[in-house]
């Protein structure tokens, strides 16, 4: 991978490393004074549901939410690393949404800013263990 690609990956992952909305850990920007831009679990579930429905060409109402949770990813790959890519090595707050539709399972990994990826089973990595506050 070239330097420019690594820089883009690092920059994108850095954007995703802002804290998510959580009552115990309020969302703030880098200087800890203003609210950070973030998504909430509901908006990530809705976006993932639309994506899964689009992939199957079905009504979003037919997509079942198997699980949806706020998590902490162990790095900027959001628990879905691709071979040959370089990721920010920092804990990244985010979400994991698992959906079922059309006899298939869809595993979405997201950052706190709402950016998500559909993660194939062979690349999926579990979130980091819960961290003490």
Q: pLDDT tens for residues 30-46?
A: 444 434 456 899 999 99
Contact 1, 86 (CB under 8 A): yes
* Token output for 36: 């950070």
Tokens for 116?
Answer: 């998500």
State the Cα angle at 20 between 11 and 60, rounded to 5°.
Answer: 95
**Number of domains, the chain:** 1
pLDDT band at 131 (very low <50, low <70, confident <90, very high): low
Q: Vertex 25, ends 74 and 130: CA angle to 5°?
A: 35
Let me know if residue 14 belongs to a domain: yes
Region of residue 102 (phi > 0: left; psi between -120 and 50: alpha; otherwise: beta):
left
Provide, rounded to the nearest whole percent, the portion of the chain with pLDDT above 90.
66
Whether the per-residue pLDDT at 21 is higher than 80: the answer is no
Q: Is residue 47 part of a domain?
A: yes
pLDDT at 9 (0 to 100): 37
Q: State the pLDDT at residue 16.
A: 38
96-117 pLDDT tens trace: 999 999 999 999 999 999 999 9
Is residue 31 in a domain? yes
Is 48 inside a domain boundary? yes
**How many residues would you count in the chain?**
133
**Does residue 90 fall inside a structural domain?**
yes
Q: Exposed, middle or buried by CB within 10 Å (0-12, 13-18, 19+), for 49?
A: buried
Does pTM top 0.95 for this prediction?
no
Is 130 among the domain residues? no
Range 79-83 average pLDDT: 97
Range of the domain at 13: 3-118
Tell whether the model's pLDDT for residue 2 goes beyond 60: no
User: Does residue 127 belong to any structural domain of this protein?
Assistant: no
């Amino acid at each position: 991978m070239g330097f420019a690609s690594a820089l883009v990956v690092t920059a994108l992952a850095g954007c995703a490393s802002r804290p998510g909305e959580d009552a115990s850990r309020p969302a703030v920007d880098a200087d800890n004074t203003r609210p950070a831009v973030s998504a909430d679990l509901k908006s990530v579930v809705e976006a993932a549901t639309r994506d899964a429905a689009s992939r199957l060409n079905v009504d979003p109402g037919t997509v079942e939410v198997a699980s949806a949770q706020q998590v902490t990813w162990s790095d900027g790959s959001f628990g879905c690393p691709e071979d040959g890519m370089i990721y920010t090595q920092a804990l990244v707050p985010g979400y994991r949404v698992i959906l079922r539709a059309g006899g298939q399972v869809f595993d979405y990994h997201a950052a706190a800013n709402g950016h998500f990826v559909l993660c194939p089973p062979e690349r999926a990595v579990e979130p980091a263990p819960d961290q003490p506050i």
